[in-house]
Structures are given as C-alpha cells and as structure tokens.
Amino acid sequence: MKLKILFPTFLMLLPLAINTNCAQENLINLLPEGKDGWVKLGKSAGSIGPETYDRKNLFDYIDGGAELYLAYDFQRLAVQRYSGYSTDSVEKNLLTVEIYQMNSSVDAYGLFSFDQEGKIVNLGQKAVYVDGLLKFWKDRFLVRILGTETNLKEPILKFGAEIDQRIKTKGKLPDLLSKVPKDNLIPNSDHFFHEQILLNNLYFLYDKNILNLSDKTDCLLSDFKFGEQILKLFLIKYPNHKGAKNSYESFSKFYLKNKASEKNKIIETEEGKLVGVELKKNYLILVFEGTEKKITLQLLDSVKNSLK
C-alpha cells in the first residue's frame, strides 16, 4: 500500500501568492521615479509608494465604472501621483499615472478602444492625447496619465515615453480588426469587447442579452461613412456555428420581429432605419443606421466576403 501524502492547504496556495506578488511588483516597476522637478506625491512625509488594486478592490478606486474594466479581464492596477511647482505660480501641479494590466494584449487594446477620443501621438502601440489626458496601449497594459492643468502636455508625454520604454514587449491586435474592410471606415471608431455590459455603454440595442454575448464572444463595433450616411457595423465571433446560429435566430425574433431570412437580409425597423443581418460560419454580421438599401447591403456583403 502506497503512502498518500497530503500537503497543507497554505503550502498549496503559496506559489499562487508568490506569483501574484511578483506580478504586482513588476507592474510597480513600470512607474517612473520622477524627473525635471516632479516628485512622488507625499515623498516628504515618507509616503512614496503607489496605490495598488486588483479584481477584488478595484471598486475602491473606480466607483461605479469598475464593471467595465472587469469585463476586459482586468487583473491589477498601479496608481502613482506626482507633484511639481508651476513655473509661473506657487501652486503645485499634479500628475496621476495609472497603469492597468489585463490578462491579454487584445483585452488591453479593447479597453483602450472603448474611448479613443483625442489626437494620435507616437507612444506605445497606439496613443491619443486630449485636454491633459494621455492614453496609450502596449502589450497587456493600458496607461493613463492625467494632469490637473491642460498646459502639462510636455511632462505628461515625457512620463508616457518613460513608461513606454519600460514595457519591453508588444502585443497583438484583435483578429476581428483584420476582418472588416478599410474603405469608408472612420478612423479610431473601432470598439473591441466581449460582453453585453460593454455593448450597452457603446450602442444600446435591447434590454436583454438577445445576442448571447459573453466572455467567449469577440465583438467589434465600427463606424463607416458613405457620403453623408454613417453606418454602424457590429461583427460578432462566436465559439462555434451553433452559437452564431442561435444568436441570429434570437436577434431576428426579438429585434426584427422574425422578418429576417437568407433572402431578406435588409430589414426596415419601426423607426424607419435599415438593419442588415447575415450569418457566416461562426460570425454574425449586423449593420445598423442604414438609410439606403444598396449601401447597407454593400457593407454587409463586403464584410461577408472578408470572412472567406
């Protein structure tokens, strides 16, 4: 008879705790030390360490919006504040650096894509700056640097460049981005996500999850301009064809009142707008806000052909 050895529970959990602590430490190492007169807030009092958050306590930092970050498989966050005297004032200016770490690079890009307002700047793998706020994506990280004044662009970009250099790896873009046509696509209008809560914040369709969105679905919402007409493309990738077919039937039943069919792809809603719908393998293609059947069908077919 072989002797069965039972390990104490705390020993079994110890490697996980060590890995978590190491990951948190690596995230903190991405934060700048401060330069050009900028110092970590509270240094004189001996409190220079950053704030750190994980999935359990993110709500303590983001009150009312943490669900959106968690839906992108958020893992941890490091926050550091810096202070520096203005050159023309005795008042202190403040910078806040936030580094969010997701579980994958595609989800980090998705979180970045949720709001791409601003002017493109050359940082990370993609970055925008507007009114004292810098946002950039690189690998599994989303970096946000916010100044208390709008005239702090130069130090904000310097801090961003330092963090960019500290992140040594690059991530991949979501595969869905390669499945949509580039013609007529409005720049920076793409939003990559997975779950219903994110769709509701981007483009409200229905009060129930009639498209069966989950952490297993990949979704892309993009805008296309044809003359004065702006169409909204919604492309969803399901784990299999059965899931896509069930969602097609659910959407047709609840949103299109069973009017959609293989021959009838363009449906006019009660509001007078056109909706295009197409099922292709494990993809569901939807086009909203149409006003001309020909153009709506053109976009629908263009995406369908790109999936071959």
**Mean pLDDT along residues 178-192:** 95
Token pair recorded at residue 51: 């704030």
Domain boundary pick from 131, 166, 201: 166
Give yes or no: residues 70 and 209 share one domain: no
Q: How confident is the model at residue 1 (pLDDT cuts 50, 70, 90)?
A: very low
Give yes or no: residues 30 and 50 share one domain: yes
The pLDDT, as a whole number, for residue 85 is: 59
Give yes or no: residues 29 and 141 share one domain: yes
Give yes or no: residues 78 and 212 share one domain: no
Judge whether 181 lies within some domain.
yes
Domain hosting residue 185, numbered range: 175-306
Judge whether 9 lies within some domain.
no
Judge whether 5 lies within some domain.
no
Domain tally for the chain? Answer: 2
Give yes or no: residues 103 and 238 share one domain: no
134: domain CATH number is 3.40.1000.70
HSE toward the beta carbon, residue 150, CA cutoff 13 A: 2
Judge whether 272 lies within some domain.
yes
Give yes or no: residues 190 and 230 share one domain: yes
Give yes or no: residues 195 and 283 share one domain: yes
Give yes or no: residues 197 and 292 share one domain: yes
Q: Rounded mean pLDDT of the chain?
A: 88
The pLDDT, as a whole number, for residue 39 is: 87
The pLDDT, as a whole number, for residue 247 is: 98
Give yes or no: residues 156 and 197 share one domain: no
Give yes or no: residues 154 and 37 share one domain: yes
The pLDDT, as a whole number, for residue 8 is: 39
**Which residues does 48 contact at the CB level (< 8 Å), separation at least 6?**
40, 42
21: pLDDT strictly greater than 90: no
> What's the pLDDT tens digit per position in 82-99?
988 555 544 578 899 999
Judge whether 107 lies within some domain.
yes
Give yes or no: residues 145 and 241 share one domain: no
Give yes or no: residues 143 and 184 share one domain: no
Domain boundary pick from 147, 166, 185: 166
Judge whether 115 lies within some domain.
yes
Other residues' Cβ atoms within 10 Å of the Cβ of residue 150:
10
**Mean pLDDT along residues 96-124:** 96
6: pLDDT strictly greater than 80: no
Q: What is the 3-state secondary structure (H, E, C) of 19-66?
A: HHHHHHHHHHCCCCCCCCCCEECCHHHCCCCCEEEECCCHHHCCCCCH
The pLDDT, as a whole number, for residue 42 is: 52
What's CA 56's distance to the chain center, in Å? 20
Q: How confident is the model at residue 23 (pLDDT cuts 50, 70, 90)?
A: low
> What's the pLDDT tens digit per position in 199-255?
999 999 999 999 999 999 999 999 999 999 999 999 999 999 999 999 999 999 999
The pLDDT, as a whole number, for residue 93 is: 85
Domain boundary pick from 132, 166, 200: 166
> What's the pLDDT tens digit per position in 128-137?
999 999 999 9
The pLDDT, as a whole number, for residue 263 is: 85
Judge whether 76 lies within some domain.
yes
48: pLDDT strictly greater than 70: no
The pLDDT, as a whole number, for residue 222 is: 97
**Mean pLDDT along residues 283-306:** 96
